[in-house]
Structure 1
Amino acid sequence: MRKKERHALIEKIIRENQIATQEELVAHLLAQSVFVTQATISRDIKEMQLVKTVLDGGKTQYQMMSNTRETPPIKLEKMLGNSLRKLKRKDDLVLLQTVPGTATTLAKVVEEKFSSQLFTVMTDDDKILLFCLGDEEAKEVKEQLEVIQAKSR
């Protein structure tokens, strides 16, 4: 199967099923006689810009980036409420610790909201490190994130 066809099938599977892991996606493809490795799925997820979103109750699922229709403030509030576990600041750095699997998606939304105050952002599976332009910017970003998180409770 060609990549374009596989991507179309993956999109269909994601839209019709609650897929939380790459292994589940591989299993759904296998059920349709499409044999792929986890490494291939990982590349497909990146190329298709699939994002892991947190559902009510804390469960996660892959979605198409375009499926996240909420406006950024509502989306950020909801995401912080569902996935943020800890928030710290030191000098010009702000660290967000999240539910595993949610950091990359949350980082994109945070970066969009605070782009004028950030130098860059680094993420892994459960952490986001914001490199702010200075100490004052870091203080403002942390305070705003705390306010947004408080609204989500």
Structure 2
Amino acid sequence: MKKELRQKKILNLISKKNIATQLELIDALAEIGIKTTQATLSRDIKELHLVKKTDITGEVAYRVLNAEEQVEYNSGPVRDIFKESVNGITQVQFINIIQTDPNDGSRVAAVIDDAEIDGVKGTLAGYDTLVVFSADAEAAEALHQKLKSFLE
């Protein structure tokens, strides 16, 4: 089955009933004739930005984050690693240069890449420094302000 169709079915299922575990989701998919593996389902969950949330009755279930929640969800790990490993940020035209603790340059870059933050076109990391490329100086300035906020 094509990924797009399977993911549409997943979204349809979680919108109609509370599904709290991957096993429950695999079983629900099987009931409608879709067989999948746990590994494939895990990738789908990540790509669809599904999270487990508690509703007002206290029941936990998968749901899709809205755009505002997605930004906060994605920036959580960035904020954590910035507080732990980043020593400073400097903007030079369309580039942000980030100084980290020794051995942390690549780790910080990987977290930034995974977070899919607006304004990040790519990263290049070394031992204790990484550069974050933006499309232009204006985008880099907006990114600079956002990255600095993670240090607060």
Q: What's the TM-score, normalizing by structure 2?
A: 0.48
Larger Rg: 2
